[in-house]
Amino acid sequence: MSARHESEVRALLDGPHPPVPPDLAALAAGRGHHLLRRRRALRRTAWFLLAVAVTAFTVWAALTEPWVLPPSTYAPPFEGP
């Protein structure tokens, strides 16, 4: 950092500070509370949808039994003697 740049930064920091609205902390806290509520609702919705998807997959798998191989179509069924 050059000496000129450093002196400009010091002049900006030593100068008058801009006025801060008196209700800034309350507004920030309200916005944070709103964001937390929204995030919590999204998380609950995501967990609910995940549970529904797992349940639907389990029911589908139990009904269709995809792990069972279909009967072979290459050879006719064996008829006993």
> Is residue 10, in this structure, part of any structural domain at all?
no
> Is residue 32, in this structure, part of any structural domain at all?
no
Provide the residue range defining the domain that includes 58: 40-64
The Cα–Cα gap between 31 and 43 comes to 18
> Is residue 48, in this structure, part of any structural domain at all?
yes
The Cα–Cα gap between 66 and 4 comes to 74
> Is residue 17, in this structure, part of any structural domain at all?
no
Tokens of 48: 């609910």
pLDDT digits (tens, 9 = 90+) for 3-59: 889 999 898 888 888 899 999 999 999 999 999 999 999 999 999 999 999 999 999
The Cα–Cα gap between 58 and 51 comes to 10
pTM beyond 0.85: the answer is: no
User: What pLDDT is attached to residue 69?
Assistant: 85
